[in-house]
Amino acid sequence: MSFSRRNFLFLSGGIAAAAGVTACGSDAGMDSSSDSGASGGAGGNVALSQWYHEYGEEGVEAAVKSYAADYKDATVTVKWNPGNYDTLIPTTLLTNDVPDVFEYGNGPTLDMIQQGQVVDLTDTLGDAVSKFNPSVMKRLTFQDKVWSIPQTVDMQLLYYRKSMLDKAAVEPPKTMTGLVEAAKAAKAAGMGGFFAGNDGGVGVLANMLIWSSGLEQLNAERTQAGFLEPEFYAAISAYRDFFNSGALVQSASAEWYDAAAFINGEAGLQWGGLWSLTQVREALGDDFGVLPFPKIGDSGREAVPFGAFSSCVTAKGKNVDAAKQFVKWLWVDQTDKQVDFSNSYGTHIPAQPDLVPRASKLSEGAGKDAATFVRNSGFASDIMWTGPLGDAFNAAVINVVKRNADPQKEFAAVGTKAKAELKRVSG
């Protein structure tokens, strides 16, 4: 499968720190006729450069180049970047040959902000900040400053087969107990139960065990872990029981980010991505529904993880003020282009909630439900949830679920790691 917006978004932005490499469904073919060069539009005397990673969906490259060509106050040259974009951008920002504008998954990293490589866009966005999904904007804000403007939103969610649950007289699961019951019903119906990856779901669902138990990755002051509580220990223990119950599919023909296992009946329920919605609908018609990850425990809550590709302005660009005005024009003012970007190439959610009804794939049914989940129950990894901290957390999840380690003892070490790591990145 081709490298897509999901690959980069999840790995750089942290929808799930241990999700591994993600990919598109069948709606994400590459446009083999497009080149990888730059193109621009006839604008004003100011010249701007804008960088994108290589999207997997056909038509995106042509679309973003047409957007740039429509801008009249500058000549914007778009560069399409195949390959390892998440490494290219941090490396390029260390040089003097930087783009004026670039996209990045969930906004710039903490290092980019602290090293002064990107520009504060708080004043550029101004009152328009209220137009955007608050959960998305929270992820793009650090120390009360907004560091990028969201372009579109991707998310993960739970798919389930309606007819299977109806026949078994089982309600769509809204609790962990309900998820186990539904998975057992699927298995009894001759399907697999619940599928969330060939690692048993411990990668992509690791952070869900925090959010669905009602807790946060970090405390409000961002000085220590925010999940070292009995509710989390109970949640991970419950998932371990599920892992060992026989109702969780631990091996399928494709990974969680591909809808194949759900479509072909290897699983009656599957954790997947909104990007698969078109493929699932084409295969199953109306015989499916979508849900957030269910709450775990009495103090839990339903949750979905999301990520937003976002537009950043480089501090070393030759035309910083002009670049700021361009990103505002494109990602705040040009609502028709934003709907096109989210709706015409796969299935994604406009970052401005008021635009969601204009996206045909989200106007009803499962698509409309998914957009509501992000608005009401969306979570993204904290900007200070760094790679080393995420690695330590994920290793502990594996040890508890797969190797039967004691949760409280295992995560005590993660708590120690969190304090040291947060102190380091706080300067």
Phi, psi of 249 (to 5 degrees): -75, 120
Q: Which of 290, 308, 275 is CA-nearest to residue 373? A: 290
Q: Yes or no: say if 159 and 224 are a contact pair by the CB < 8 Å rule.
A: no
pLDDT (0 to 100) of residue 4: 47
Percent of the chain with pLDDT over 90: 83
Phi, psi of 303 (to 5 degrees): -155, 145
CA-to-CA dists, residue 83 to 2, 34, 80, 364, angstroms? 10, 15, 10, 36
What is the mean predicted confidence (pLDDT) over 210-228?
97
Q: Could you give the dihedral angle defined by the CA atoms of residues 352, 353, 358 and 361, in that order, rounded to the nearest 10 degrees?
A: 110
Instruction: Answer with the one of 264, 284, 304 that is the final residue of a domain.
Output: 304
Query: 261-277 pLDDT, tens per residue?
Result: 999 999 999 999 998 99
State whether 141 and 14 are in the same domain: yes
State whether 300 and 312 are in the same domain: no
- Report whether pLDDT(140) > 90: yes
State whether 164 and 298 are in the same domain: yes
Higher pLDDT, 168 or 363: 168
Judge whether 424 lies within some domain: no
Judge whether 422 lies within some domain: no
- Report whether pLDDT(1) > 90: no
Q: Which of 209, 251, 245 is CA-nearest to residue 226? A: 209
44 confidence band (pLDDT: 50, 70, 90): low
State whether 161 and 88 are in the same domain: no
Judge whether 224 lies within some domain: yes
pLDDT (0 to 100) of residue 20: 32
- Report whether pLDDT(43) > 80: no
State whether 313 and 336 are in the same domain: yes
State whether 190 and 324 are in the same domain: no
Judge whether 28 lies within some domain: yes
Judge whether 427 lies within some domain: no
State whether 122 and 262 are in the same domain: no
- Report whether pLDDT(371) > 50: yes
pLDDT (0 to 100) of residue 84: 92
- Report whether pLDDT(41) > 70: no
Query: 331-360 pLDDT, tens per residue?
Result: 999 999 999 999 998 889 999 999 999 999
What is the mean predicted confidence (pLDDT) over 38-56?
78
Q: Which amino acid is at 70?
A: D
CA 281-283-287 angle, to 5 degrees, is: 60
- Report whether pLDDT(17) > 80: no
Higher pLDDT, 138 or 40: 138
State whether 22 and 146 are in the same domain: yes
CA–centroid distance for 393 within its chain: 19
The CATH number assigned to the domain holding 218 equals 3.40.190.10
Query: Structural domain tally of the chain?
Result: 2
What is the pairing mode between strands 289-291 and 149-160? Answer: antiparallel
Q: Which residues pair with 155 in a beta bridge?
A: 306
Instruction: Answer with the one of 336, 351, 379 that is the final residue of a domain.
Output: 379
State whether 298 and 279 are in the same domain: yes
Can you give the residue range of the structural domain that contains 73?
5-154+306-379
What is the mean predicted confidence (pLDDT) over 54-72?
94
Query: 185-217 pLDDT, tens per residue?
Result: 999 999 999 999 999 999 999 999 999 999 999
Phi, psi of 112 (to 5 degrees): -60, -40
Give burial (CB, 10 Å; 0-12/13-18/19+) of 306: buried
State whether 108 and 34 are in the same domain: yes
Dist CA 220 CA 224 (whole Å): 9
Q: What is the pTM of this model?
A: 0.85
Instruction: Answer with the one of 379, 398, 415 that is the final residue of a domain.
Output: 379
Judge whether 410 lies within some domain: no
State whether 38 and 122 are in the same domain: yes
State whether 243 and 125 are in the same domain: no
Q: Which residues contact 362 (CB under 8 A, 6 or more apart)?
A: 343, 347, 349, 356, 368, 370, 371
pLDDT (0 to 100) of residue 410: 97
Higher pLDDT, 205 or 55: 205
| Least reliable range by pLDDT among 19-23, 48-52, 229-233 | 19-23
Q: Which residues contact 27 (CB under 8 A, 6 or more apart)?
A: 57, 275, 276, 278, 279, 346, 347
pLDDT (0 to 100) of residue 347: 87
- Report whether pLDDT(406) > 60: yes
What is the mean predicted confidence (pLDDT) over 160-180?
97
- Report whether pLDDT(396) > 90: yes
Judge whether 401 lies within some domain: no
- Report whether pLDDT(378) > 70: yes
Judge whether 419 lies within some domain: no
Q: Which residues contact 155 (CB under 8 A, 6 or more apart)?
A: 273, 274, 304, 305, 306, 307, 349, 370, 373, 374, 378
What is the mean predicted confidence (pLDDT) over 370-381?
92
Q: Which residues contact 377 (CB under 8 A, 6 or more apart)?
A: 292, 301, 302, 303, 304
Dist CA 156 CA 204 (whole Å): 9
Which helix (H) or strand (E) segment holds residue 195: the answer is strand 194-195
